[in-house]
Structure 1
């Protein structure tokens, strides 16, 4: 058995996993700190060892072959299991770090205001919050323990903790009254982007509310960030069409209030998602338990 293991092309397998996961030799060379030529050499070595073509090469780049896809799933899972086994051998104090990904809006408007409570309860766990608009593929990127995301089409390969059902309503400063029909109306607009194709905008809300005349006298003020739009609405610059999840703290603090709350545009389901099995890790288990407690407060 030891002779078999000695013949395993481990460097080539690690190089192949990186190139397959990142989608190219150049990206793999950057991750592994070697030249693209070295990556190509290791891939060709592995292909010769197996007698199989793992990548289809073209002028546009490389793409996994059918055999490459099968091998990638096996090698990726094997390396992930090995990394997890090595982690379990480390002293507990070295493992108390949790890295999560979410959007900047959810981080600033929902997570960060509550995170101090987690730190008070679990001072030994460091939480790294990395934000971005792109959805991180947890199956491929094992640097993340957890993702907090708005889901329209849940990934069946991930485990999840449902957090908050999202919908969009109109919010105003306290005491706001609709101006007369012959006067302009200030509406704050944010480009709500959804991979599902669900439309979240003022025309759709006005049609549902029977307020199409608003669009004729509206003065739109455009913001590219939800946080700025909510601040502008609280300052009295106009009405905002906002997510009930992201506006929750502003409502609780009395800065904004719902208007025609019965008129709602259904949106996504906010969930915490992770790779199966990772919930057994102490830091992630503690964070998931804390998240569950936040839903009841």
Structure 2
């Protein structure tokens, strides 16, 4: 089964993106730079030009692949930057598809601290129990935080951070968790519940957000065939080996309405492209390593403290 392991340490999000693109070589795609080669693999750098580490992609059995990460601190040659090569960014591909990687975090950071705390508590309950908090829990938390519950829930829903009922008095879900725990993307959280994700990238982002292992079960909407992706201690494996994710939108509108319904897993790139043509969609096709990197970029910092408005 193919796999890819994410890096750790400073600049991890950018490094994950680089790892994902290098792992493309395992499914027949060229290395991302003409100056890169299998004998001299490119390294990952951050926005300030600091070397974060090197990715070595290899074939396991002619069909599977893996990507291993060497941090810069473990290799003096990397610290000197002697093999530095620019790498295309998953963030750029998300931007081009109309899905800015930092959009979710920017929307959350614009909210006051107490509202961010309430949002965090709601997601934590869903991740722990598989269901949204009760009205009694919400009321208690809002009181402790000095918040008026209904306007706050409405603001979180308007920011597409939560899903609520029509009167904004109850929570039905919260990005990345689907409303009413219903979708084609089922995520079994290790040691926890099975939850539904709004789309493929949301499903792949849940392990990064929680720092937990998980197994995703989904279905290729073009062929009806199953796709399974598993994260264990930061290493992703998936079946079938040529599985991909389509990212894009069906038009303008709220991302959860125009993007999420079409961001799906596919058994291979041909199915993804056929689906895109059939539904007249704009977007891009990511390999599974690239899609896992996208999930980490979008959701990896969602449980971390942020500056308040």
TM-score, normalised to structure 2's length?
A: 0.23
- Taking structure 1 as the reference length, the TM-score comes to 0.23
Larger Rg: 1
Higher helix share: 1
